[in-house]
Structure 1
Amino acid sequence: MPPVGKGSDLPPPDDLEATWRFLLDGIEVMMSKLTQGMDYPRYMKLYTVAYDYCTSSRMSSSGKMALGASFNKSMGANLVGADLYERIKQYFRQHSEHLRKGATDLSDETLLRYYAGEWTQYTQGANYVHRLFVYLNRHWVKREKDEGKKNVYTVYTLALVQWRDYMFRQTQAKNRITDAVLKQIQSQRNGETIDTGLVKKVIDSFVSLGLDENDSVQSNIDLYKAEFESAFISATELYYRTESAAFVAANSVTDYMRKAETRLKEEEDRVEMYLHPATRARLIKKCENALIGAHAQLLWDEFDKLLEADKGDDLYRMYTLLSRIPDGLEPLRRGFEEHVKRKGAAAVEREAGSNVDAMEPAAYVSALLGVHSKFVGVITSAFRSEAGFLAALDKACRVFMNKNKATGDSTSKSPELLAKHTDGLLKKSNKSAEEASLEEDLNQVMVVFKYIEDKDVFQKFYSKMLAKRLVNFASASDDAEASMISKLKETCGFEYTNKLQRMFTDMGLSKELNDSFKEQMNQQYDKSELMDFYALVLANGFWPLSAPTSDFSIPTELLPMYTRFERFYGAKHSGRKLTWLWQLGKTDLSTSYLGHKHIFTTSAYQAAVLLQYNSNDTLTMKELYDSTGLNEQALKGALGALIKSKVLLEKASGGANGEGSSSSAGASTSYSLNMAAKFKKLRMNLNIPMRSETKAETVDVLKTVDEDRRLLLQATVVRIMKARKTLKHAQLVQEVVSQVGSRFQPDVPAVKRAIESLIEKEYLERQEGSRDTLQYLA
Structure 2
Amino acid sequence: MSLRPRRVDFDQTWSTLLETVNGVITCGSVARATWNDRFSDVYALCVACPEPLGDRLYHETKTFLENHVKSLYQKVVDSNEENLLTVYQRHWEQYSKGSSFLNQLYGYLNTTFIKKQKYSDADLNYGGFTVELTDQMLEIGELALDTWKKFMIEPLKNHLLVLILQEINSDRHNNCVNQTVLHGVITSFVDVEEYKKKSPLQLYEDVFESQFLKETGDYYRSEAAKLKDECTCSEYMEKVIKKLQEEDFRSRKFLHPSSYGKVTHECQQRMVADHLLFLHGECREMVQIEKLQDLENMYTLLKPIHGGLALLVQEVEEHIKTMGMEAVRNLKGDNVPTQFVESMLAVHQKYTELIKKVFRNDQQFVGALDKACATAINYKSNPKMPCRSPELLAKYCDNLLKKSSKGSSETELDDKLGSCITVFKYLDDKDVYQRHYSRMLAKRLIHGQTASMDAEEMMINKLKQACGYEFTNKLHRMFTDMTVSNGLQDDFSQFLKEGPTELGLNFSILVLQAGAWPLGQSNLPTFAIPQELEKSVSEFEKFYNRKYSGRKLTWMHALCTAELKLNYLKKPYIVTMGSFQMAILLMFNESESVSYKEVTRHTQLSEKEMTKQVQSLIDAKILNFEDTVTTESVFQLNMAYANKRTKFKITAAIQKETPQELEQTRSAVDEDRKMYIQAAIVRIMKARKLLKHNLLIQEVISQAKSRFAPNIAMIKKCIEALIDKQYLERTQNSTDEYSYIA
Q: If the TM-score is normalised by the length of the shorter chain, which range does it land in?
A: 0.7 to 0.9
How far is 1:701 from its partner? 0.9
The reply to whether residue 395 of structure 1 matches residue 380 of structure 2 is no
Q: Say if 1:577 and 1:126 are closer, same or farther in 2 by CA, change over 3 A.
A: closer
After TM superposition, give the deviation of residue 594 of structure 1 in Å.
3.5
Could you tell me which amino acid in structure 1 is paired with residue 670 of structure 2? D
- The 5-angstrom pairing of residues 511-522 of structure 1 reads 511-522=486-497
CA shift, 1:303, in A, is 4.3
Inter-CA distance 523–317: structure 2 relative to 1 (3 Å threshold): same
**1:190 is aligned to 2:154:** no
Q: Computing the radius of gyration over CA atoms, which structure comes out larger, 1 or 2?
A: 1
Q: Alpha carbons of 1:117 and 1:750: their partners in 2 closer, same or farther (altered >3 Å)?
A: same
CA offsets per residue over residues 521-543 of structure 1, 9 Å max, x none? 3555697x611211222222322
| Contact 2:186 2:254 (8 Å CA) reproduced | yes
Query: Residue 568 of structure 2 aligns with which residue?
Result: 593
Counterpart in 2 of 1:606?
581
Separation in 2 of the partners of 1:41 and 1:735? 82
Corresponding position of 2:189? 206
SS of equivalent residue, structure 2 residue 158: helix
3-state SS in 2 of match to 1:771: coil
Aligned equivalents of 1:691 and 1:135: distance in 2?
A: 100
User: Relative to structure 2, which stretch is displaced further, 578-587 or 70-79?
Assistant: 70-79
8 A Cα contact 1:100 1:167, kept in partner:
no
Quickly say closer, same or farther: Cα 1:185–1:27, change in 2 above 3 A.
Answer: same
Match of 2:508 in 1: 534
**2:258 aligned with 1:278:** yes
How far does residue 481 in structure 1 lie from its aligned partner after superposition?
Answer: 2.0
Greater mean alpha carbon deviation, residues 643-652 or residues 594-603: 643-652
1:378 lines up with 2:354 in the alignment: yes
2:517 matched residue in structure 1 = 543
Q: Following the alignment from structure 1 to structure 2, what is the Cα–Cα distance between the partners of residues 289 and 148?
A: 38
Trace 1:140-179 onto structure 2 (pairs within 5 A).
150=135, 164-170=149-155, 173-179=156-162
Task: Give the counterpart letter for 1:389 in structure 2.
Answer: F
The CA deviation at 1:278 is 2.1
Q: Are 1:343 and 2:344 matched, yes or no?
A: no
Return the offset for 1:588. 1.5
- The residue identity in structure 2 corresponding to 1:111 is L
| Equivalent position of 1:331 in the other structure | 311
Q: Separation in 1 of the partners of 2:479 and 2:240?
A: 63
Q: Which residue of 1 aligns with 2:71?
A: 95
Q: Secondary structure at the residue paired with 2:530?
A: coil
Of the three residues 245, 251, 255, the one matched with 2:231 is: 251
Partner of 2:543: 568
SS in 1 for 2:463: helix
Separation (CA, whole Å) in 2 of partners of 1:283 and 1:240: 11
2:84 pairs with 1:111: yes
Q: Deviations over 1:556-576 (max 9, x none)?
A: 333333333333334444454
Structure 1's 207 and 623: CA in aligned 2 closer, same or farther, altered over 3 A? same
1:260 aligns with 2:240: yes
Once the 2 structures are TM-superposed, how far is the Cα of residue 584 of structure 1 from its aligned partner? 0.9
Aligned pair 1:466/2:430, yes or no? no
| Alignment coverage as a number of residue pairs | 724
Q: Is the 8 A contact 1:92 1:163 kept in 2?
A: no
CA deviations 1:307-340 (Å, max 9, x no partner) are: 4455555544443443323333343333333232
TM-score, structure 1 length as denominator?
Answer: 0.81
Q: Tell me, what secondary structure is at the counterpart of 2:625?
A: strand
CA contact (8 A) 1:434 1:476 kept: no
Question: Per the alignment, do residues 642 and 179 of structure 1 end up closer, same or farther by CA in structure 2, a change over 3 Å counting?
Answer: same
Give the Cα separation in 2 of the matches to 1:684 and 1:515. Answer: 27
Cα deviations by residue, 1:569-614 (Å, 9 ceiling, x for unpaired): 3444445443221111111121143412222221111112222333
Judge conservation of contact 1:651–1:669 (CA < 8 Å) in 2. Answer: no
Moved more, 186-195 or 117-126: 117-126
Instruction: Tell me the residue number matched to 1:7.
Output: none
Structure 2 length-normalised TM: 0.84
Alignment map for 1:657-736 (pairs within 5 Å):
665-689=629-653, 693-736=657-700
Kept after mapping to 1: 8 A contact 2:77/2:84: no
Give distance in 1, aligned partners of 2:24 and 2:722. Answer: 101
2:699 maps to amino acid: E
Query: SS state of the match for residue 549, structure 1?
Result: coil
Q: CA deviation at 1:751?
A: 0.9
Structure 2: how far apart are the matches of 1:150 and 1:771?
74
Pair 1:492 & 2:492 matched: no
Equivalent residue letter for 2:340: Y
Q: Is the partner of 1:580 in helix, strand or coil?
A: coil
Counterpart Cα distance in 2 of 1:192 and 1:41:
46
CA contact 2:62–2:143 (8 Å) conserved in 1 = no
Match of 1:583 in 2: 558
Tell me the secondary structure at the aligned position of residue 564 of structure 2. Answer: strand
TM-aligned CA deviation for residue 387 of structure 1: 3.1
Unaligned runs of 5+ in 1: 3-11, 56-69, 653-662
Alpha-carbon distance change, 151 to 771 in structure 1, aligned in 2, over 3 angstroms? closer
Provide Cα deviations, 1:143-194, integer angstroms capped at 9, x if missing partner: 9989998487677766655654455433xx5333222211221222222232
Shift of 1:367: 1.7
Residue identity opposite 1:99 in structure 2: K
CA distance in structure 1 between the aligned counterparts of 2:607 and 2:29, rounded to whole angstroms: 127
Shift of 1:372: 2.1
Q: Once the two structures are superposed, what CA deviation does each residue of 1:446-497 show, in whole Å capped at 9, x if it has no partner? A: 2222221112211211221111111112211222222222233333333322
Residue 123 of structure 1, CA deviation: 5.9
Does the CA contact (< 8 Å) of 1:737 and 1:746 recur in 2?
Answer: yes
Alignment-derived partner of residue 711 in structure 2: 747
Q: 1:92·1:159 contact (CA, 8 Å) conserved in 2?
A: no
Structure 2 Cα separation of the partners of residues 687 and 291 of structure 1: 71
Mark the CA change 1:758 to 1:211 in structure 2 (over 3 Å): closer, same or farther.
closer
Mapped to 1, the partners of 2:30 and 2:716 lie a distance apart of 103
CA pair 681-114 structure 1, distance change in 2 beyond 3 A: same
> What secondary structure is seen at the aligned counterpart in 1 of 2:736?
strand
Q: Call closer, same or farther: CA 1:580–1:400 in 2, change over 3 Å.
A: same
Question: What residue number does 1:181 align with?
Answer: 164
Instruction: Label 1:566 to 1:296 Cα distance change in 2 as closer, same or farther (>3 A).
Output: same
Match of 2:122 in 1: none
Is residue 645 from structure 1 mapped to residue 620 from structure 2 by the alignment? yes
Aligned-partner Cα distance in 2 for 1:637–1:594: 25
The offset of 1:76, in angstroms, is 9.8
Residues 583 and 604, structure 1, Cα contact 8 Å, conserved in 2: yes
Residues 283 and 753 of structure 1: is their aligned pair in 2 closer, same or farther, counting only changes over 3 Å? same
Contact 2:429 2:707 survives alignment (8 Å): yes
Tell me how far apart the structure 1 counterparts of residues 699 and 10 of structure 2 sit (CA, whole Å): 95
Whether 2:416 is the aligned partner of 1:441: answer yes
For 2:738, the equivalent position in structure 1 comes to: 774
CA distance in 2, matches of 1:752, 1:89: 87
Alignment of 1:477-488 (within 5 A): 477-488=452-463
Alignment partner of 1:558: what SS?
A: helix
Greater alpha carbon shift after TM alignment, 687-696 vs 459-468: 687-696
Query: What residue ranges of structure 2 are gaps of 5+ in the alignment?
Result: 3-7, 120-131
Residues 239 and 640 of structure 1: is their aligned pair in 2 closer, same or farther, counting only changes over 3 Å?
farther
In structure 1, the partner of 2:129 is none
Specify the code of the residue in structure 2 equivalent to 1:704. Answer: A
Q: Which residue of 2 aligns with 1:659?
A: none
Which of 604, 616, 619 aligns to 1:629? It is 604
In structure 1, how many angstroms separate the alpha carbons of the residues matched to 2:106 and 2:481? 101
Q: Distance in 1 between matches of 2:241 and 2:693?
A: 56
